[in-house]
Copies of this chain bind each other. A is one copy, B any other.
Amino acid sequence: MFRFAIKLAAGVTALVAITVASAQAYEPLVEKQVFEIPSFQTFGGNEIKNVQVGWEAYGRLNESKSNVILICHYFSGNSHAAGKYSANDKAPGYWNKIIGSGKPIDTDKYYVISVDTLVNLGVGNPKVTTTGPASINPDTGKPYGMSFPIVTIRDFVNVQKTLLDSLGIKKLHAVTGASMGALQTYEWAAAYPDRVKRVIPVIGSGWATGDLIAWLNIWAAPIKLDPNWNEGNYYDGPPPLKGLATALKIVTLHAQNPEWSNGSFGRSWAKDSGDPAKSFDNLFKIEATLDAIASDRAVTSDANHFLYLAKAAQLFYAGHGKTVYEGLLAINAPVLMVHTNEDLIFPGDDVRETASIIKSDGTRVNIVELQGTRGHLDGVFSISQAGAAIAEFLDN
Contact = CB atoms under 8 A, between A and B. Distances in A.
Contact of A152 (B253, B277, B279): B277
Q: Range of interface residues on chain A?
A: 35 or more
Chain copies in the assembly?
2
Contacts of A217: 249, 283-284, 286-287, 290
A315 interface: yes
Nearest to A226: B225
Contacts of A218: 246, 249-250, 253
A314 interface: yes
A258 interface: yes
A283 B310 CA distance: 12
A150 interface: yes
Interface stretch (A21-29, A163-171, A174-182, A205-213): A205-213
Contacts of A278: 44, 150
Contacts of A249: 217-218, 221
Interface string A267-302: 110000000111110011111001000000000000
A101 interface: no
A227 interface: yes
B150 A267 contact: no
B277 A215 contact: no
A258 B222 contact: no
Contacts of A226: 225
Interface string A137-154: 000000000100010100
A243 interface: yes
Contacts of A253: 214-215, 218
B250 A286 contact: no
Contacts of A222: 221-222, 225, 246
Interface string A320-361: 000010000000000000000000100101100000000000
Contact of A280 (B150, B243, B262): B150
A94 interface: no
Contacts of A210: 258, 261-268, 284-286
A307 B280 CA distance: 9
Interface of A: 44, 146, 150, 152, 207-211, 213-215, 217-218, 221-222, 225-227, 242-243, 246, 249-250, 253, 258, 261-268, 276-280, 283-287, 290, 307, 311, 314-315, 317, 324, 344, 347, 349-350
15 contacts: A209-B262, A210-B261, A210-B264, A210-B266, A211-B286, A213-B284, A213-B286, A214-B265, A214-B287, A218-B250, A276-B311, A276-B314, A276-B315, A280-B307, A280-B311
